[in-house]
Amino acid sequence: MTTMRDVARVAGVSAKTVSRVFNDDPHVTDETRDRVRWAMQKLNYVPNLLARSFRAGADAAVGLAVPDIADPFFAIMTSSIEEDLIGRGMAVVVTSLGHGGHERQSAEHERSALEALLRRQISGLIVVCVSADQSYLAPWQERTPMVFVDRAPRGLSGVYVIEDDLGGAREAVTHLASHGHQRIAFFGVSTPVATTRRRLKGYRTAVAENGLSDHPDLVCMTTESPGESAAALMKRLAAPDPPTAVFSSNIPCTMALVLALHQAGRTDVAVVGFGDIPMAEALAPAVTVLDQDPAGLGRIAVDRLLQRINDPHAPLQRRTVLPVHLIPRGSGELPPA
């Protein structure tokens, strides 16, 4: 069995340095950290993980729960997490929680799905919540390490990794305003989760900062599906004083809106979407987006979880916020029609 000393020998460092890297010691240089992680992956080394699993009666497997594996964002994140964990000799059990929607139904489905995973005696859990309350996970958290991704847990204190939803939305709207747009619409699907609310807050902050129109009709939060958002956009474009630009708060919504605009021949409407979409660069105009780096999000989630599995009582950064980056491709740079 590979030992910490084997990793240290391959990486050219001491065993103590290997331990410091695995425990995310901030005093380790990036070069040393990369070298040790490379050696860990090369030797398929997971410190104490299997031993701890046998002692606790748990499997060397991690549960992963996402809203929808078909969503491009969560598909990329899932692939990254699977590749990372399988490379470390661990299995991954994936389940879908659904998009949210009716609050009571989403809460019941999330709880039953996650508790079914937790009863499998998994070593840890990575979860993207869809309901408004995760307090029911408190007793499970006592024995199973957890990391929350894309949105923080509510009713529960836990380690989580999220994106800068507020700052990204603010940047997107400011970008559209810099190209002359005064009436910028916000589109999203209403769910119990916090990401849409944070992005709406960023939108409203930018509207106020740039002196833009803040008419209530410019904010569209549908309750059913992205297709409903697309129908609502077409209705607003046909009304007097329509929006000249759109900020879409998630990938499924962006895909539906862009398709509807192309089908209606309204590619003159400027669009910025939160999250990259398939074929975005192949469209005319290509779609301007805020890039979330779902693969990077997955890698950090795995690092945080393995740190917690290796030492459940070690101090660990509770909140990690990753930046998002605007990728201008054409649709977000169109002038007002």
Tens digits of per-residue pLDDT, 176-205? 999 999 999 999 887 667 888 899 999 999
CATH number at residue 217: 3.40.50.2300
Q: Has residue 172 been placed in a domain?
A: yes
- Nearest by Cα to 128 from 102, 104, 163: 163
Task: In whole angstroms, give the CA distance from residue 164 to residue 299.
Answer: 17
Task: In whole angstroms, give the CA distance from residue 90 to residue 305.
Answer: 13
CA 34 to chain centre: 24
Q: Has residue 285 been placed in a domain?
A: yes
pLDDT in tens, 264-300: 999 999 999 999 988 888 999 999 999 989 999 999 9
Q: Which residues, in sequence order, are bridge partners of residue 220?
A: 187
Q: Has residue 251 been placed in a domain?
A: yes
Q: Has residue 104 been placed in a domain?
A: no
Task: In whole angstroms, give the CA distance from residue 299 to residue 77.
Answer: 8
Q: Is 282 exposed, middle or buried (0-12, 13-18, 19+ CB in 10 A)?
A: exposed
Domain span at residue 210 reads 165-292+325-333
- CA-to-CA dists, residue 105 to 86, 99, 132, angstroms: 33, 11, 11
- Nearest by Cα to 6 from 50, 42, 53: 42
Tally of structural domains, the chain: 1
What's the pLDDT score for residue 56?
Answer: 45
pLDDT tens across the length of the chain (337 residues): 567 788 889 999 988 888 788 666 778 898 998 898 888 888 876 555 444 444 444 557 899 999 988 888 999 999 999 999 988 888 899 999 876 555 666 788 899 999 988 888 788 999 999 888 899 999 888 889 999 999 999 999 999 999 999 999 999 999 999 999 999 999 988 766 788 889 999 999 999 999 999 999 999 988 767 888 899 999 999 999 999 999 999 998 999 999 999 999 999 999 999 999 888 889 999 999 999 899 999 999 999 999 888 887 777 778 999 999 999 999 999 999 8
What's the pLDDT score for residue 337?
Answer: 83
Task: In whole angstroms, give the CA distance from residue 264 to residue 20.
Answer: 57
What's the pLDDT score for residue 122?
Answer: 87
On whether the CB atoms of residues 62 and 85 are closer than 8 A, the answer is yes
Q: Has residue 58 been placed in a domain?
A: no
What's the pLDDT score for residue 222?
Answer: 82
- Nearest by Cα to 41 from 99, 85, 100, 91: 85
- Nearest by Cα to 248 from 150, 168, 154: 168
Q: Has residue 229 been placed in a domain?
A: yes
Q: Has residue 238 been placed in a domain?
A: yes
